DNA sequence: CAAGATTGAGTGCTCAATCTTT
DNA sequence: AAAGATTGAGCACTCAATCTTG
């Protein structure tokens, strides 16, 4: 893959229609490289999880939030916003997880409109099974290429960025 | 959004089923924050582009590669691998772009099996229209939060990582 | 058979509309 | 009207099978 010869997201001195002096080219370059790495790593991880008949990343994320929530329960409203999925995607993903008996849907005592999601035993098992594979993939495809200091930098900057970025909607 | 209270991808001292001393927690933390920022930024950018009736990121990426290719032409085979999309996704996206007259499909002289994609004038216009919006979004949601040195670091490390990562299967 | 590209079936995400309860 | 959650229609991605040419 030639990232320098052919551009992805304007890997050239000039913007598509000419010189654009008012932007930092670095910003676009950095963003482009992040996009490329992200897509490759995610694709590889998803393939590996699928191959081993394990839950996909989106489900993993949900199950893990539940695992560490008080009583292993969480309101739909709260999951939404903590999680990478959008509201409707979360709703559909929870349907699948409930169908597969990995989570249980419960009525909310305080608010009849509300929905409580509880981690089912099978959900915890699914989490345990997926972790070694996921962990190995993160290490091999990502972590192993960075030093401790570099990882500290990424954690610090990107968690700050995440807090500033718009969550849902 | 509470990334510290409830975990996304194991934001806790322990792995789901107990202590796992053999991995660097930093790796998972860094990966998690990248995932979150990526999903939020991409979602925001896509929404903004859509709102302005501009091409989505996947199309933008393809058109831009063509814009800087010799004669504004590129073989399908070559586009695949330079681009974020997978082979079948690229095929379908090119169908849409050809349908919209943003690119033209041509026969390949050297190899009858081959396919040449050419950037059409309307495609170049689409690129020009989308850039200011895209550029602004990258700046506001991403670039503005990093110093020059930090961006240099990201470009350096992630472009090196991209070269090491598996491209298309 | 391998390489280049497309296609069918299935899955899952998107927005916007909807329904229920406050 | 607003908040909480679901749903319908549409779109775009995935893998695997297919077709064509070398």
Between helix B87-99 and helix B57-67 the angle, nearest 10°, is: 80
Kindly report the nearest CA distance between residue A12 and chain B, in angstroms: 8
CA A126 to CA B50: how far, in whole Å? 37
Q: For chain B, how many residues are written?
A: 169
Query: What percentage of chain A has pLDDT greater than the value 70?
Result: 85
Q: Is the CB of B75 under 7 A from strand C?
A: yes
pTM of the model: 0.86
Which nucleotide across the nucleic acid strands is nearest to A57, CA versus C1'?
Answer: C12
As a three-state string, the secondary structure of chain A is CCCCCCCCCCCCCCECCECCCCCCHHHHHHHHHHHHHHHHHHHHHHHHHHHCCCCCHHHHHHHHHHHCCHHHEEEHHHHHHHCCCCHHHHHHHHHHHHHCCCEEEEECCCCCCCEEEEECHHHHHHHHHHHHHHHHHHHHHCHHHCCHHHHHHHHHHHHHHHHHCCCCC
Searching chain A, which residue's CA lies closest to the CA of residue B29?
A: A155
Query: Which of A1, A17, A25, A30 should be substituted to probe chain B, the one whose Cβ sees the most B Cβ atoms within 10 Å?
Result: A30
Searching chain B, which residue's CA lies closest to the CA of residue A155?
A: B30
Residue A41 CA, distance from chain mean position: 11
Asked if B1 and A150 come within 8 Å (Cβ–Cβ), the reply is: no
Q: Identify the top-confidence range among A12-26, A43-57, B24-38, B93-107.
A: B93-107
pLDDT of residue A6: 25
Q: What is the CA radius of gyration of chain A?
A: 20
CA B146 to CA B162: how far, in whole Å? 21
Residue A164 in tokens: 């500033």
Q: Among A79, A165, A150, which residue's Cα sits nearest to residue B140?
A: A165
Q: Among A55, A50, A53, A75, which residue's Cα sits nearest to residue A65?
A: A75
3-state secondary structure of B146: coil
Kindly report the nearest CA distance between residue B54 and chain A, in angstroms: 15
pLDDT of residue A104: 97
CA B98 to CA B95: how far, in whole Å? 5
Q: What is the pLDDT of residues A112-143, one digit of tens each?
A: 999 999 999 999 999 999 999 999 999 999 99
Provide φ and ψ at A86, rounded to 5°.
-80, 175
Q: Is the CB of B21 under 7 A from strand C?
A: no
Kindly report the nearest CA distance between residue B77 and chain A, in angstroms: 12
**Residues 76-115 (A) near nucleic chain C, CB < 7 A:** 85-86, 88-89, 92-93, 96, 111-113
CA B153 to CA A146: how far, in whole Å? 11
Q: What is the pLDDT of residues B36-95, one digit of tens each?
A: 999 999 999 999 999 999 999 999 999 999 999 999 999 999 999 888 899 999 999 999
User: Which of A36, A82, A155 faces B2 most closely, judged by CB atoms?
Assistant: A82
Which nucleotide across the nucleic acid strands is nearest to A93, CA versus C1'?
Answer: C12
Return the higher-pLDDT residue of B115 and A167.
B115
Searching chain B, which residue's CA lies closest to the CA of residue A85?
A: B39
Chain D nucleotides covered by protein, CB below 7 Å: 3-8, 12-16, 20-22
Kindly report the nearest CA distance between residue B112 and chain A, in angstroms: 24
Per-residue pLDDT at B5 exceeds 50: no
CA B139 to CA B121: how far, in whole Å? 27
Question: Residue B27: CA atoms inside 13 Å, Cβ hemisphere, count?
Answer: 17
Provide φ and ψ at B146, rounded to 5°.
-130, 145
Q: What is the pLDDT of residues B156-165, one digit of tens each?
A: 999 999 988 8
Q: Cβ-count burial of B65 within 10 angstroms (0-12 exposed, 13-18 middle, 19+ buried)?
A: buried
Per-residue pLDDT at A84 exceeds 90: no
How many angstroms is C1' of C11 away from CA of A93?
A: 11
At residue B21 the predicted structure's pLDDT band, cuts being 50, 70 and 90, is low
How many angstroms is C1' of C12 away from CA of B8?
A: 20
Q: What is the pLDDT of residues A21-38, one digit of tens each?
A: 557 889 999 999 999 999
């Amino acid at each position: 893959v030639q990232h320098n010869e052919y551009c992805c997201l304007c890997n050239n001195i000039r913007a598509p229609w000419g010189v654009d002096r008012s932007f930092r080219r670095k910003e676009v370059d950095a963003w482009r490289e992040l996009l490329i790495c992200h897509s490759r790593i995610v694709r590889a991880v998803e393939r590996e999880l699928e191959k081993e008949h394990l839950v996909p990343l989106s489900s993993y994320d949900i199950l893990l939030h539940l695992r560490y929530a008080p009583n292993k329960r969480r309101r739909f409203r709260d999951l939404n916003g903590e999680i990478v999925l959008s509201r409707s995607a979360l709703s559909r993903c929870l349907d699948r997880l409930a169908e597969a008996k990995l989570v249980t849907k419960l009525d909310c005592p305080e608010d009849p409109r509300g929905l409580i999601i509880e981690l089912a035993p099978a959900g915890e098992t699914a989490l345990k099974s997926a972790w070694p594979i996921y962990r190995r993939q993160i290490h091999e495809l990502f972590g192993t290429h960075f030093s401790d200091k570099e990882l500290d930098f990424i954690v610090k900057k990107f968690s700050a960025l995440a807090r500033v970025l718009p969550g849902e909607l």
